[in-house]
């Protein structure tokens, strides 16, 4: 096997016997899971089941209760350790549910922040970094927004700025906590299609989603969290169905088909 | 975001302002001296009465004023990042309260000036340890808890200060009042304060981009590879040290630490450069130093031979500026 193939075969994210708890309940027990380049995963589950907690653990923000985690072959540093964090940040990006702007700042500055892990200690953002940021803004339909003050943006615009910041980081592994928050329908579709394009070029997507229809349409695979540490992972075509979703959400759901897409509506 | 060249240009201009302020401070006073005297005193050649006054009295005091202003402004800028609150100042976590308790206790006991300074430093350090120990109890850093602990410790110190002043003999009260207002009249050795200011800048500047990220939220900073807890601990310890040294040198001078980073940030935002700590930290230090130096020059000349505590002047200037900024804030968010 050549070196190139070895890199190709290293999963972007790998969990072995992963155990994650929050607030005294199990999010997942003995999770064996790998995410390879080119894959898109949806994480589905009820409110409070621990989807965001799992995502934060995968990002290395909180310690797991058991098992091993690696990102692109690198073991995640324990929270509180400083070494290796920047190397991880060059590979994995994380989109938070909430954005904070306590200080005034323009959209372009906010997006350029994503270049941090690629810059040396004394480096300033170069013209090339700016071009990356501007391309990301264009891709999110924010072309004329570079000089706008972030504190004046609407919720949906601010969310797209956060996605543009994530693109500027240029990670291979995208961990997305509810990426469609605040977005209108057209931008929901545009953002999911943009991530699907990234995946087709060799990135990997792991997204916490609330709409199983979007999950089935844009994610090839799904991880279902049932709330007692139990989980189910597999191709979306097999895992996302009315029976599993009814059990997952504790509410009867019905599957509808239109234009070759499956949609799930509550009964 | 400023480019590196623009940032250096701004800093060079601020160094110019600092030099100008220094010459003003050396030339102004009850004994008139010529510019030639000032240059002679600074260059170290010859002597004479004017040179003696400048070199022996005005220069140490001027350098101490500059150092304290720089320390307070830098500490304020750091606290604003740490607490992610544009209205934080170096005293918000009780450090000046602790120093006041230490200094006034020493004055009450009739100790010498050097011991008063030592007690002030010990008091500020004790306050820092108490706040840190209580807020950091379970190894998690919540801003609210840190802020609340600091505010409570500060108000506790305030009560002790009031108690000391109540039982203090009449003749000590004036000295205590001057200490509390902030006064540079007794600052004869600016060396340590200048050294700590330089140390603070040298330690913090390489981490300025990390501070930029931290001011946008812990999660974002973590996601981009910042060791958040360590950097926060570093900011806390450094900002406390800077504040403690400033307070030990000149008492609790108000408003420099709050208003200067705010003014610099406002100017940067007007120029479209945003809230970039790479420029904000050194610019605040230089501007804060110059501002306190000019304020102190005013304080000792405006009703000469009577001297005002410089803290009164900075507060008189700071309060309207602060209220003006506070009143404008909603506009920026619209």
Between chains, do B1 and A99 touch, taking CB under 8 Å as contact? no
**Stretch (H or E) spanning B150:** helix B143-167
Q: What is the per-residue pLDDT for B28? A: 84
| Mean pLDDT over the full length of chain A | 92
Q: Which of A62, A120, A124 should be substituted to probe chain B, the one whose Cβ sees the most B Cβ atoms within 10 Å?
A: A124
Residue B42 within a domain: no
Q: Measure CA B36 to chain center.
A: 32
Half-sphere exposure of B246 (CA within 13 A, CB side): 36
Closest Cα in chain A to B4: A124
Residue B248 within a domain: yes
A31-43, pLDDT tens digit by residue? 999 999 999 999 9
Between chains, do B275 and A104 touch, taking CB under 8 Å as contact? yes
Q: Which structural domain range is residue B291 located in?
A: 88-323
Q: What is the per-residue pLDDT for B141? A: 61
Q: Measure CA A104 to chain center.
A: 27
B20 touches chain A (CB under 8 A): no
Q: Which of B217, B224, B226 sits opposite A169 (nearest CB)?
A: B224
Lowest mean pLDDT segment, chosen from A80-84, A247-251, B18-22, B155-159: A80-84
Query: B246: domain CATH number?
Result: 1.10.3470.10
pTM, full prediction: 0.90
Residue B83 within a domain: no
Q: What is the per-residue pLDDT for A2? A: 41
Does the pLDDT at position A60 exceed 60? Answer: yes
Mean pLDDT within A69-75: 91
Between chains, do A81 and B220 touch, taking CB under 8 Å as contact? no
Residue B62 within a domain: no
Between chains, do A104 and B217 touch, taking CB under 8 Å as contact? no
Q: Cβ neighbours of residue B79 under 8 Å, at least 6 residues apart?
A: B88, B89, B90, B92, B93, B235, B239, B257
Between chains, do A94 and B223 touch, taking CB under 8 Å as contact? yes
Does the pLDDT at position A263 exceed 60? Answer: yes
How confident is residue A262, by pLDDT bands cut at 50, 70 and 90?
very high
A3-98+172-266 CATH fold: Rossmann fold (3.40.50)
DSSP string, B74-98: HHHHHHHHHTT-TT--TTTTSHHHH
Between chains, do A99 and B217 touch, taking CB under 8 Å as contact? yes
Residues of A in contact with B220 (CB under 8 A): 96, 99-100, 113
CA distance A37 to A199: 7
CA distance A92 to A85: 10
B275 touches chain A (CB under 8 A): yes
Between chains, do B86 and A103 touch, taking CB under 8 Å as contact? yes
Min Cα distance A86 → chain B (Å) is 4
Q: Which of A116, A126, A161, A178 should be substituted to probe chain B, the one whose Cβ sees the most B Cβ atoms within 10 Å?
A: A116
Q: What is the per-residue pLDDT for A117? A: 96
Block means of pLDDT (10 residues each) for chain B, 334 residues, are 85 96 87 76 72 81 95 94 85 88 91 86 89 68 81 92 92 87 81 94 94 93 92 89 90 87 86 86 96 92 82 83 68 44
Min Cα distance A257 → chain B (Å) is 38
Residues of B in contact with A109 (CB under 8 A): 1, 274, 276
Q: Which of residues 240-259 of A touch B (CB under 8 A)?
A: none
Q: Is A36 helix (H, G, I), strand (E, B) or coil?
A: coil
Min Cα distance B275 → chain A (Å) is 6
* Phi, psi of B186, deg, nearest 5: -105, 10
A59 touches chain B (CB under 8 A): yes
Domain boundaries, chain A: 3-98+172-266, 103-170
Instruction: Quote the number of domains for chain B.
Output: 1
Between chains, do B274 and A105 touch, taking CB under 8 Å as contact? yes
Between chains, do B215 and A101 touch, taking CB under 8 Å as contact? no
Q: Is B134 helix (H, G, I), strand (E, B) or coil?
A: helix
Q: In the A/B pair of chains, how many CB contacts fall below 8 A?
A: 96
Residue B328 within a domain: no
Q: Which of A84, A113, A166 should be substituted to probe chain B, the one whose Cβ sees the most B Cβ atoms within 10 Å?
A: A113
Q: What is the per-residue pLDDT for B305? A: 78
Between chains, do A100 and B276 touch, taking CB under 8 Å as contact? no
Measured N-to-C along each axis, helices B113-135 and B143-167 cross at an angle, to the nearest 10 degrees, of: 150
Between chains, do B275 and A112 touch, taking CB under 8 Å as contact? no
Residue B105 within a domain: yes
CA distance A44 to B41: 75
Residues of A in contact with B265 (CB under 8 A): 103-104
CA distance A184 to A190: 10
Closest CA to B93 of B172, B21, B150, B169: B150
Between chains, do A116 and B224 touch, taking CB under 8 Å as contact? yes
Does the pLDDT at position A165 exceed 70? Answer: yes
Between chains, do B224 and A101 touch, taking CB under 8 Å as contact? no
């Amino acid at each position: 096997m050549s070196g190139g193939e070895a890199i190709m075969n290293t999963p972007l994210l790998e969990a072995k016997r992963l155990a994650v708890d929050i607030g005294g309940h199990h999010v997942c027990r003995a999770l064996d899971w790998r995410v390879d380049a080119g894959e898109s995963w949806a994480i589905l589950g009820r409110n409070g089941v621990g989807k965001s907690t799992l995502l934060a653990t995968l990002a290395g923000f909180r310690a797991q209760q058991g098992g091993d985690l690696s990102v692109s072959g690198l073991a995640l540093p324990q929270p509180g350790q400083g070494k290796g964090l920047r190397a991880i940040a060059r590979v994995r990006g994380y989109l938070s549910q909430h954005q904070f702007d306590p200080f005034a700042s323009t959209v372009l500055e906010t997006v350029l922040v994503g270049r941090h892990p690629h810059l040396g200690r004394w480096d300033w953002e170069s013209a090339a970094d700016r071009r990356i940021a501007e391309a990301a803004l264009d891709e999110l339909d924010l072309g004329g927004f570079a000089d706008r003050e972030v504190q004046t943006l609407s919720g949906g615009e601010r969310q797209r700025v956060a996605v543009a910041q994530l693109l500027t980081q240029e990670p291979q592994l995208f961990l997305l906590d509810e990426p469609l928050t605040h977005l209108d329908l057209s931008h929901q579709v545009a953002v999911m299609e943009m991530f699907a394009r990234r995946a087709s070029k060799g990135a990997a997507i792991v997204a916490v989603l609330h709409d199983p229809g979007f999950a089935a349409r844009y994610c090839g695979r799904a991880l279902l969290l049932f709330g007692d540490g139990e989980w189910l992972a597999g191709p979306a075509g097999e895992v996302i169905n009315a029976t599993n979703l009814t059990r997952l959400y504790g509410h009867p759901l019905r599957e509808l088909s239109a234009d070759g897409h499956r949609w799930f509506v509550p009964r | 975001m400023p480019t590196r060249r623009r940032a250096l240009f701004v800093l060079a201009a601020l160094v110019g302002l600092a030099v100008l302020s220094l010459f003003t401070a050396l030339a102004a006073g009850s004994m008139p001296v010529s510019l030639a005297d000032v240059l002679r005193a600074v260059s170290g050649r010859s002597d004479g009465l004017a040179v003696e006054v400048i070199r022996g009295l005005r220069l140490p005091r001027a350098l101490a004023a500059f150092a304290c202003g720089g320390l307070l402004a830098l500490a304020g800028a750091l606290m604003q990042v740490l607490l992610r609150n544009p209205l934080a100042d170096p005293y918000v976590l009780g450090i000046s309260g602790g120093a006041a308790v230490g200094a006034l206790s020493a004055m009450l006991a009739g100790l010498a000036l050097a011991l008063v300074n030592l007690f002030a430093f010990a008091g500020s350090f004790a306050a820092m340890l108490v706040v840190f120990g209580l807020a950091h109890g379970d190894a998690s850093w919540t801003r609210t808890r840190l802020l609340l602990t600091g505010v409570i410790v500060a108000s506790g110190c305030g009560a002790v200060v009031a108690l000391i002043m109540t039982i203090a003999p009449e003749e000590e009260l004036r000295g205590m009042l001057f200490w509390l207002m902030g006064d540079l009249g007794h600052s004869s050795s600016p060396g340590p304060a200048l050294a700590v200011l330089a140390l603070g800048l040298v330690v913090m500047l390489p981490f300025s981009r990390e501070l930029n990220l931290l001011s946008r939220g812990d999660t974002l900073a973590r996601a981009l590879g910042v060791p958040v807890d360590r950097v926060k601990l570093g900011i806390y310890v450094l900002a406390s040290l800077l504040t403690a040294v400033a307070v030990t040198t000149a008492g609790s001078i108000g408003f420099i630490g709050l208003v200067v980073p705010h003014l610099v940030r406002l100017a940067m935002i007007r120029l479209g450069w945003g809230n970039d700590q790479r420029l904000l930290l050194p610019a605040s230090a230089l501007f804060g130093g110059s501002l306190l130096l000019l304020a102190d020059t005013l304080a000792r000349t405006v009703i000469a031979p009577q001297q005002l505590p410089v803290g009164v002047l900075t507060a008189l200037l700071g309060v309207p500026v602060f209220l003006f900024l506070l009143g404008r804030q909603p506009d920026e968010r619209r």
